[in-house]
Structure 1
Amino acid sequence: MENDIKLSKRVIEHEEKDENSTKSRLYIPIKYKFSISLVISTLWVIFSYYVSRRWISDLSEVTYSVSLAVFIIAGIAYIPGFMNAFLVSSLLLDKQPKFKVTHPEDEVTILVAAYNEEAGIFNTLKYIKEQEYKGKIHTIVINNNSNDNTCAEVERAKKEMGMDILLLHENTPGKFNALNHGLNYVKTKYVITLDADTLIHNKAVNYLISRSNSAPDDVCAVAGSMLVRNSRENLLAKIQEWDYFLSIASIKRMQGLYQGTLVAQGAFSLYKTSVVQNVGGWSDAIGEDIVLTWKMLKQGYRVYFEPHAVAFTDVPTKLSHFAKQRSRWARGMIEGLREVKPWQQPSIYYKFLTGIDLFIPYMDLSYTFFWIPGVILAVFFQKYYIVGPMMLLVFPLTLISFYILYYYQTHVVFKNLNLKVRKNTIGFFIFILCYQIVMSPVSLYGYAQELIGAKRVWK
């Protein structure tokens, strides 16, 4: 307990020192931002409960239980409302610290784990070559049992672009095995992991290292910002574009505000090499990046998010592939909770942020077995026991949070990077209205796979 208190004090001291270094007309320490957001979201739940008493009464007549009625409503309204209110409040209070170092020259190593990536790995390496970065970039590609022309494409990149690429071979299947093998060859202070099908903006490496060099010493990782590259392929990809652009980015910004970004995703993130080595590298897990991040947080380190360090990835265009990917993500969250319990985290912020994940399976259960049937009852039978006018209280908060992030993404991030937002109106409305109908059952499937110990599959 005493060690936890010391770690929490150290985190708060660093926060205040870090924020005092930025110029702002109104200085609000992070601990007050957290308290303000917590109070606002709690008041929202109290208000929601007050106005929903009639809803509880009507639903309890159908369920024959007030407790069951509250259980249903909490899963589809109270808890999502609390989380949305906390998210909106945090985004409104967020202010990214300015860079202290804008053009770093640190040597950095990029690890690319590759399994049957002949279609895109040359292009991925080409974007590494074109980075506008003053320091030296070492690239290590770890071939993990590919049975296509992945290695030939890497050799072609070395020859045609004159790149500094070390090609390694790891025969034991599993991305974590490939990354740990590559880690043995890293000699630089920083290491970046990059998926073999992901393209990085030409200033992405510079932004990641600038953020790390501008941060306190206990910041051990910086997560990049993932966006969708192939959104023109079909409707499913168009819908996912908004998920990455709004939902995932807004959650990472909120977590980054409290300096506990929960996933420094393996697709594109920067780590301090020594810290990754000290915590034992990547674990034998389907969500190896989640487990690694939580282990670092448990050690008292902090993890930042840099929205300007943009990478573009291809998302699944088939529903079956999408379901496999998102069920893997759901399994990864459970793995993280098993590896590091929220109450084991040293900071109150990390306890809170990881503790939220304990409620996500409950919400997915509620959406799948209560909200979706409620929609069917409301639309086809005009029975508003579950989905009715009271559900509209959650909707405005969602739209507000998306608008805040959309404004930030377009007027700050994209403007600085000379990027433009694609027009995708149909994808947006389907994302708002229907996305959760697919996501919650898929996530439940992932939780079930993890509970029964189903076989792990990288792809």
Structure 2
Amino acid sequence: MLVAAYQEEALIANTLENLAALDYAGLVEVIVIDDGSKDDTLARAQACQSLFAGHPRFSLHVERMARNSGKAQALNHGLTLATYDLIVTIDADTLLEPGSLSSIVAHLYASPPQTAAIAGAILLANPMESWSTRAQQWDYFHGISAVKRMQGNFNGTLVAQGAFSLYRRDALEQAGGWPDTVGEDIVLTWSLLRRGYIVRHAEDAVAWTHAPESWGALSRQRKRWARGMIEALAIHKSLLFKPRLSTMFIYWNLMFISIDLAFTLAFIPGLLLAAFGIFWLAGPVTLLVLPLAGLWNIVIFRIQTRMLRRNDIEMKKSFAGFLLFAFIYPFIMQPVSVWGYASELFGRKKEWQ
């Protein structure tokens, strides 16, 4: 299990305590790679050795990069240190449900032999910290999870996210490891798909991640995600011509770009004009999409709730956060995505924050 960490002194000990308590019958080697942190991340990770000292199957190794080199380089360094053939990545601020590691490994062995990676299911660990996290809870619970479930059903999950995913080591090495890009997980996933591998999703392998608590930090994160999509399209554009069913989802990603552009450059100005009685871009008929959107959200909510119930997982839900997610969130995040697309196209500086 590779844990790349940068400036994570507040949460790294909780993450390692969680890993030491996982319900898994096999051998587990946890490798923490401190990417040149300037805080006490390294010391707090090393202090967790006692959690693993008496464990019969788990071990902990803490490594420090000579200088801050970025998440991709940290993960690649961890890969050179790893012993086993299955590689799991988790973020340094992520907690796993007790059976999640067993579940994600079981999904791999139940999948076709050409499966290279399994993406876990990500939910929010801090949904009540701010209005930003209240809205993000529903983004993860409804939007991201629903998309990954659909893609996984067709063996074409487009992002085995770094927050919690499982990879076959040989497939990772064939792809050259994690690329030194701003969206290293999406570019790696597309590299695996381009080589003919399958990438799937395990909805019951649940991890809890800490989301950005301020709107500014969230905007920077989503800007980075948008840049990663453009990077993946630029590097692996040959995927657009692969005669596979999962290619449909690559084109679906292209639709997200066009929808973000249309929403930001046409729909928002259209609403502003409509407020003054000018219905050139948006009018009363636009409201007809709301019942369809409401029905779709009900379907997703029922599917997700059944998943939580099957796995005996409780999740606090903020109704006010849902209203914020449904009616305000898109007006912030979709322009941010357009900002990310533009930053990548114009070659702005890249960094792991």
Fold shared by both chains (TM-score > 0.5) = yes
Partner of 1:121: 12
Q: Distance in 2 between matches of 1:343 and 1:277?
A: 20
**Equivalent in the alignment of 2:304:** 409
Partner of 1:167: 62
Shift of 1:160: 4.2
Contact 1:260–1:303 (Cα < 8 Å) also in 2: yes
Tell me which stretches of 4 or more aligned residues in structure 1 moved more than 6 Å: none
- Partner residue in 2 for 1:266: 162
Equivalent residue letter for 1:389: P
- Could you report, residue by residue, the CA deviation over 1:235-265 in whole angstroms, capped at 9, with x for unpaired residues? 1110010000000111111111111000000
Equivalent of residue 297 in structure 1, options 174, 178, 193: 193
CA change 1:343–1:312 in 2 (3 A) is closer
Superposition map of 1:42-441 within 5 A: 110-162=1-53, 164-170=59-65, 171-341=67-237, 343-344=239-240, 346-378=242-274, 380-411=275-306, 413-441=307-335
Structure 1 residue 416, shift from structure 2 partner: 2.2
Note the alpha carbon deviations across 1:129-171, whole angstroms, 9 max, x for none. 1111111111001110111111111111112442611111222
CA, structure 1 residues 433+266, in 2 after alignment: closer, same or farther (shift >3 Å)? Answer: same
Report the TM-score, using the length of structure 1 for normalisation: 0.73
What's the secondary structure of 2:83's corresponding residue? coil
8 Å contact from structure 1 (residues 116, 147) kept in 2: yes
Across the aligned residues of Structure 1 and Structure 2, the Cα RMSD in angstroms comes to 1.4
**1:181-228 alpha-carbon deviations (Å, 9 max, x no partner):** 011112212100000011111111011001001111011100001111
Q: C-alpha separation between the residues in 1 aligned to 2:344 and 2:305?
A: 38
Structure 2 SS opposite 1:320: helix
**Helix, strand or coil at the partner of 1:357:** helix
- State how far apart, in whole Å, the 2-side matches of 1:333 and 1:433 are: 25
Deviation at 1:356, TM superposition (A): 2.0
Please give the alpha-carbon distance, in whole angstroms, between the structure 2 residues aligned to 1:317 and 1:340.
33
Q: Distance in 1 between matches of 2:131 and 2:242?
A: 43
Q: Deviation of residue 344 (structure 1)? A: 4.8
**Deviations 1:330-366 (CA, angstroms, capped at 9, x unpaired):** 0000000011115455343232111222232222121
Tell me the secondary structure at the aligned position of residue 410 of structure 1.
Answer: helix
- CA deviation map 1:385-443 (0-9, x unaligned): 322232234333322222222111112x2112222232311111121112111111101
Percent identity of paired positions between Structure 1 and Structure 2: 39
1:456 to 325, 350, 353: 350
Task: Provide the rounded CA distance (Å) in 2 between the counterparts of 1:389 and 1:381.
Answer: 13
Q: Note closer, same or farther for the CA distance 1:224–1:160 as it changes in structure 2 (3 Å cut).
A: closer
Which is further off, 382-391 or 353-362?
382-391
Cα distance in 1, alignment partners of residues 68 and 130 from structure 2: 35
1:184 counterpart SS class:
helix
Q: How many residues align?
A: 348
Distance 1:148 1:194 in 2: 20
Partner of 1:199, secondary structure, is: strand
CA 1:114–1:366 in structure 2 vs 1: closer, same or farther (change >3 Å)?
same
Amino acid at match of 1:456: K
| CA contact 2:119–2:160 (8 Å) conserved in 1 | yes
Q: When you count helix as a share of all residues, which structure comes out higher? A: 1
Residue equivalent to 1:442: 336
Q: CA deviation at 1:445?
A: 0.9
Unaligned runs of 5+ in 2: none
The 8 Å contact of residues 20 and 51 in structure 2, kept in 1 or not, is answered as no
Q: 1:118, 1:150 within 8 Å by CA — same for their partners in 2? A: yes
Q: Is the 8 A contact 1:298 1:345 kept in 2?
A: no
Q: Is the 8 A contact 1:133 1:203 kept in 2?
A: yes
CA–CA distance in 1 between the matches of 2:175 and 2:288? 44
- Radius of gyration: which is bigger? 1
Counterpart AA for 1:151? L
CA distance in 1, matches of 2:48, 2:292: 48
